[in-house]
Each structure stands twice: as C-alpha cells, then as structure tokens.
C-alpha cells in the first residue's frame, strides 16, 4: 500500500482533485453573482417558504463540523486511548466544514455587502447573532487546536495544554450545534421547530454524521496509504457511530410521540412526516439509519467497505433529516385562509392561489441553487484536499 508508486498516484490524484474543486468553486461564485445581480427570485425561496437549500446545507455542515471535532476531542479531553493519529485530520475536516457552513449563510443573505453590520449593530437577543459568535469562536479555536498540535510536534507545547484546548473545543463544538438548533427551536411560530429537544437532537445528529465523515476520510486516507489506523480503533469508531445513530433515532421517536399523541397541531406535523409531502425524506432517513446500524452492529458486516457504506448511509440519513426540518417548518402555515399568490408569495404559485402551493412539497430548489451550493461545497473540498496535501496532519510521508 505504502510503496512509492501508490503514493505518487495518490499525490497526483490530490492535485487533480484540488484543481477540479477550484474550478467548480469558481463556477459557484459566478453563479452566486448571477443570483445577486438578477435577484433571489431565481431561487426557489419565496415569502411563505423563506429559507431553502442553503440553510438546509448550513445546518448539515455545522453538524458535520461539530461532530468531527467532538469525536477527535473526546479521547484527548478524558485522557482515554485515542483513535490513533486521526485527531489532526478530524480537526482539519471540521475547519473545512465550518468554512462551508459559513459560506452557506453568506450565499443565503440578501445583502452580503452589509455583513459588517453584524459586528456594528449586533442585536444580542438574536439566535442568529449567537450563532455567528459561536461559529467564529469555534473556527478560531479549531485553528488554534491544530496549531497547538504542530507546537507539540515541535516539542514546544505540553500535552496538558492540548488537553485543555481539547476540552474547550469539545464544549464549544457542542455549543455551536445547540445554538444552530436554537435558530429554529426558539421560534414559536413553527410547530415542528418549537421543541426543547431540538438542541440535543442536533447534537446527536452532529455526532453521528461527524463520526461517519471522519470514518470515511480515515478509511480513504488509509487506502491511499497516507494514514495507518489500528483495526480496533476503527471498530470502536464504528460502534460509536452505531450508538450515536440509535440515539438520533430515539430522539426523533420521542419527539414524534410527544408531538402526535395529544392530537392537536402536532399531529399534523407527524402526519406531514409519516404520510404527507415529506414522507419520502422521512422514510429514506429511517431506512438509511436502520440499515447503517445493522451493518455496524453485526461484526461480520463490519468490513472496511461495510463501514464506509454505513457511514455514507448515516450521512444521507442526516441530510434527509435536515431537509425534513427545514421544509417541514414551512409546510404547515399558521394562517390557513385563502389568498391570491404571485411569484413573490410561494414556490408553487402558478395556480394563483396560495393554499395550492402547500399541496405537494412547499419548496424545491432551482438549478441555480444547486449550482451555487455545489460551488460552496467544492470550496470546502478545495480546502480539505489542500490541507491534506500541505498541512502537517501526521499523515505518512510521501515517498518521492
């Protein structure tokens, strides 16, 4: 695996990847300019469904990022035997995901040139403001964390210092995802969002999809001969992933029962998910997560390929959940009186009647949104690969 030939090939592969990501990211920026100059009318978002694909992916990437950092910090923070040398890779993955998440907030803004106002006119009662504060703290802290490892390698920092940083990072990582949940759950206006469980539930999702991402990256790096990880470490991570996924499903079950049982407005939320317009997302999520748990819990299926498949299934499941949360919040209007609809009102406005817009999925992204989103993700991929290539992430040295 680790011969000169294989490494050279992976080296060349990285370079190709970096260039490809850079090209897609540039196209994404160009599309974003199209969105800004021609107006956000080119997206699928409208007054009655005012957030869309960008905010879905924002949640999703905050989750990936927080989860990755938590996984790499737990062994450090509690002085346990770690998962080999994966901490640095996990931190770098987190940093890239945080950048992608911030990117998604920026492309969702109507006036990105007014971003400076956030720091001048900060309204500290806004959960979005809290999120911006924790997210920037988190980004800076992750960079410090990585830098601390570098100092430790140079023998200039004690392991205790790393441990302290890892504990702070752990707390902030949990915080960052809880605050992201609060953006949704503190608004009483949407029955589906307004639940105290939203915070813990987001943390659970962060843990499972973050672990899944770390597993995929670690196994890919091992395959490329850039990282060695013990089989037992991988099995431990895989088991943790299964447990986190179960916790995620358990929270969902608790929330559905609590919403649906009294039979009021909450029953509509359950119906919307289980049999209504969001059922495809809901059942895909459940199927992905259950299948992943089966693969991860049965020792015979826990091969490298199996673990990668299970990780991908968990990530897909969590992505579906993000879509459910975002679209589900807008799917049930509070005022169900008939009104005229026009191209500003609701995504499916063509009938001219607002209530008809709720018949299927209330929101679906336009090709432009997919393009911009792909660009933002590519920016993250660009950073990730660049880091893998040039940063001291404790990867096996390339030979020649």
- Cα dist from 205 to 164, 202, 208, whole Å: 25, 5, 5
If you compute the radius of gyration of the chain from its CA atoms, what whole number of angstroms results? 22
CB of 361 closer than 8 Å to CB of 377: no
Q: How many residues does the chain have?
A: 400
Contacts of 300 (CB under 8 A, 6+ apart): none
CA angle 314, 136, 124 (to 5 degrees): 110
The reply on whether position 121 binds other proteins by CB under 8 A is: yes
For 194, the enclosing helix (H) or strand (E) is: none
For residues 299 and 367, which CB has a smaller minimum distance to other proteins in the complex?
367
Encoded tokens for 85:
């040398």
132 touches other proteins (CB under 8 A):
yes
Is position 38 an interface residue for other proteins (rule: CB under 8 A)?
yes
Q: How far apart are CA 355 and CA 388, in angstroms?
A: 50
Report the half-sphere exposure of 173 (CA within 13 A, side-chain side).
34
Q: Which is nearer to other proteins, 52 or 317 (CB)?
A: 52
Q: Are 347 and 49 in contact (CB under 8 A)?
A: yes
| The one among 8, 16, 33, 50 contacting other proteins by CB under 8 A | 50
- How far apart are CB 203 and other proteins at their closest, in Å? 21
Q: Minimum distance between the CB of residue 275 and other proteins, rounded to whole angstroms?
A: 20
User: Whole-number minimum distance, CB 205 to other proteins, in Å?
Assistant: 20
Smallest distance, Å, CB 256 to other proteins?
Answer: 22
Decide: is 115 part of the binding site for other proteins (CB under 8 A): yes
Buried b (16+ CB within 10 A) or exposed e, 294-313: ebbbeeeebeeebbbbbbbb
Task: Give the residue with the Cβ less far from other proteins, 114 or 151.
Answer: 114
Please work out the total of residues on this chain that contact other proteins, with binding judged by CB under 8 A: 53
Question: Which stretch, 138-146, 164-172, 180-188, 369-377, contacts other proteins (CB under 8 A)?
Answer: 180-188
Backbone angles phi, psi at 340, to 5 degrees: -75, 155
CB of 386 to other proteins, least distance (A): 30
> At 339, is the secondary structure helix, strand, or coil?
coil
3-state secondary structure of 80: coil
Contact status, residue 80 vs residue 226, Cβ threshold 8 Å: no
Q: Which of residues 319-378 bind other proteins (CB under 8 A)?
A: 329, 333-335, 337-340, 342-345, 353-356
∠ CA 95-378-237, rounded to 5°: 50
**What is the C-alpha separation between 164 and 174, in angstroms, rounded?**
16
CB of 56 to other proteins, least distance (A): 13
- Please report, as residue ranges, which positions from 183 to 242 form the binding site for other proteins (by CB under 8 A): 183-184, 186-190
Q: By C-beta, is 186 or 291 nearer to other proteins?
A: 186
CB of 186 to other proteins, least distance (A): 8
- Which of 6, 17, 82, 127 forms a contact with other proteins (CB under 8 A)? 127
For the CB of residue 282, give the shortest distance to other proteins in the complex, in Å.
21
Residue 125 near other proteins by CB under 8 A: yes
Between the CA of residue 8 and those of 2, 4, 248, 307, what are the distances in Å? 10, 6, 41, 26
Which residues from 251-310 bind other proteins, rule CB under 8 A? none
Residue 108 found at the interface with other proteins (CB under 8 A): yes
The SS3 call for residue 340 is strand
Which of 20, 22, 40, 74 binds other proteins (CB under 8 A)? It is 40
Q: Which stretch binds other proteins (CB under 8 A): 14-22, 33-41, 163-171, 207-215?
A: 33-41
Residues near other proteins, by CB under 8 A: 36, 38-41, 43, 45-48, 50-51, 105, 108-111, 114-115, 117-118, 121-123, 125-129, 132, 183-184, 186-190, 329, 333-335, 337-340, 342-345, 353-356
């Amino acid at each position: 695996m680790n011969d000169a030939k294989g490494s050279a090939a992976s080296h060349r592969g990285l370079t190709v990847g970096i260039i490809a990501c850079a090209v897609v990211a540039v196209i994404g920026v160009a599309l974003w300019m199209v969105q800004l100059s021609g107006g956000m009318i080119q997206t699928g978002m409208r007054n009655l469904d005012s957030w869309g694909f960008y905010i879905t992916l924002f949640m999703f990437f905050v989750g990936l990022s927080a989860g990755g950092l938590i996984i790499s910090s737990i062994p450090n923070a509690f002085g346990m035997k770690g998962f080999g040398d994966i901490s640095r890779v996990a931190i770098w993955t987190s940093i890239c995901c945080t950048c992608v998440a911030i990117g998604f907030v920026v492309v969702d803004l109507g006036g990105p040139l007014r971003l400076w106002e956030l720091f001048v006119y900060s309204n500290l009662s806004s959960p979005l403001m809290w999120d911006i504060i924790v997210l920037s703290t988190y980004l800076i802290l992750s960079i410090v964390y990585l830098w601390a490892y570098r100092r430790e390698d140079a023998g200039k920092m004690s392991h205790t210092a790393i441990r302290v940083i890892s504990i702070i990072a752990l707390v902030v990582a949990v915080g960052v995802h809880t605050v992201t949940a609060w953006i949704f759950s503190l608004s009483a206006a949407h029955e589906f969002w307004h639940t105290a469980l939203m915070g813990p539930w987001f943390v659970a999702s962060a843990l499972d999809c973050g672990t899944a991402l770390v597993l995929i990256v670690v196994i890919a790096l091992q395959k490329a001969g850039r990282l060695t990880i013990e089989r037992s470490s991988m099995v431990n991570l895989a088991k943790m992933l299964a447990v986190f996924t179960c916790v995620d499903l358990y929270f969902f079950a608790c929330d559905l029962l609590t919403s649906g049982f009294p039979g009021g407005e909450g029953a509509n939320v359950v119906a919307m998910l289980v049999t209504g317009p969001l059922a495809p997302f809901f059942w895909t999520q459940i199927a992905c997560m259950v299948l992943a748990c089966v693969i991860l819990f049965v020792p015979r299926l826990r091969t490298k390929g199996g673990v990668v498949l299970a990780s991908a299934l968990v990530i897909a499941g969590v992505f579906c959940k993000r879509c459910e949360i975002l679209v589900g919040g807008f799917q049930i209007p509070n005022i169900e009186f008939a009104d005229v609809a026009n191209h500003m009102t609701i995504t499916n406005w063509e009938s001219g009647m607002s209530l008809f817009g709720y018949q299927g999925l209330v929101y679906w992204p336009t090709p432009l949104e997919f393009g911009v989103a792909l660009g933002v993700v590519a920016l993250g991929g660009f950073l990730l690969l660049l880091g893998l290539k040039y940063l001291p992430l404790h990867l096996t040295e390339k030979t020649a």
